[in-house]
Structure 1
Amino acid sequence: MNDEILKNQQEIVKVEQHQEKLSNEKRVLEEKLFQLQDVFQRGFQQLAESNLEALQRGYTSTQWLHKNNETKQHIFQRQLRQANEELNATYNKAIQKLEIEREELQAQRRNLLWD
């Protein structure tokens, strides 16, 4: 019986470690997405400033470039938002599944202790 309890406890620890690993991976990926969004934001800001300077110098074709860049910026922002939502959904689902597994293992351990 003690062997079963020990084995059960080891399985619980394994599941908890897996949950922690997934949580850490999720945090790292969220940070990478945030950094990517920041890089895009700065790049588009620089483009907007360049386009504004060109417009002030009388280059009228720059208006089209400015609108085109704004459209691309919105598309990238939407794609990054979707990627972040998918990341959250995927990791949260996996973590929740592990939480259910951990709860089941804890219930088994309680039953072993009562036997």
Structure 2
Amino acid sequence: MEPQEYKFRLEYIKGEDNVADGLSRINTLQPARKPFVEIHEDDKRRTMEQYHLALGHGSINNMKATIKHRYKWDIIFRDIENFVKSCPICKKAGTYVTNTKNKWIETNRKN
């Protein structure tokens, strides 16, 4: 339908009286995704090494989350798991879970 087919009235509202609400400011555009890179068999290990080092000997899950957005090959998750499990530094350090939740600070002063 053309705008002429609607019955409407234009009214000027001063900018300070016409404040945009939160919903009108929501960014609805999806970020542009980079295309997947098909990787040659010989480059898979080198790519995993680079990401593993860049992530500070990142965990299997961190590696999967990071690499899956950029590279694509048939058994990518299995290759990542095997790579991280075979890393001598990660084997030596072992796995540990760090509790990152903030703890309450106890004081002896009354409120």
| Fold in common (TM above 0.5) | no
Q: Which has the higher contact order (CA 8 A, sep 6+)?
A: 1
TM-score, with structure 2 as normaliser: 0.22
Which structure has the bigger radius of gyration? 2
Alignment TM-score, normalising by the size of structure 1:
0.21
